[in-house]
Amino acid sequence: MVTIFCYLGLAGTLYMTGVVWFAQLVHYPLLDRGNAEDYLAFAVAYQRRTLWVVVPGLSCEILGTLGLLWYWPSLQAWTGLGVLLAIWTVTCAVLIPKHLLLKQRYSSEDHRVLVRYNLPRSLLWTLRSAVMIWTAVTLPVGGA
């Protein structure tokens, strides 16, 4: 069972790492290229559609992490949880509030904050990918 949870978490983490780097390098920098009249409709549609992309990856990460902690409460599993909590802290404390503000009105300052704070989140997700690979490589033979 531990192997299933480990690889579920690894798959979700690698997927989300790709998504967050795409957002950092391509999507977020282009958010300020449209005109102000169309921006609000765009922001609402963007946030609604983004959920369809991120919910599967986040769900795999959460289920994989909880299962891994349940079946193999190792240093690797706890480290992975710690990095995931750091990611969620940045997301909930900074990025979600900025997205909500941008959905109501465009602000170049809010946009800059969004891009600036997504970089640490991207780096944290990259670190989490490394932790999950470390976890997969060090799983006990035959599971825990």
Strand segments, DSSP code E, in 2-96 are none
Q: How many helices (H) and strands (E) does the chain have?
A: 6, 0
pLDDT tens figures, 47-74: 889 999 999 999 999 999 999 999 999 9
Is it the case that residue 28 has pLDDT exceeding 70? yes
Identify whether the C-beta of residue 9 lies closer than 8 Å to the C-beta of residue 132. Answer: yes
- Residue ranges per domain, the chain? 2-132
More confident residue, 2 or 36: 2
CA distance 137 to 133: 6
Q: In the chain, what's the furthest Cα-to-Cα distance?
A: 58
Identify whether the C-beta of residue 53 lies closer than 8 Å to the C-beta of residue 16. Answer: no
Mean pLDDT within 122-140: 97
C-alpha distance from residue 48 to each of 43, 53, 58, 105, 112 (Å): 9, 10, 16, 17, 21
Lowest-confidence pick of 3-7, 70-74, 110-114: 110-114
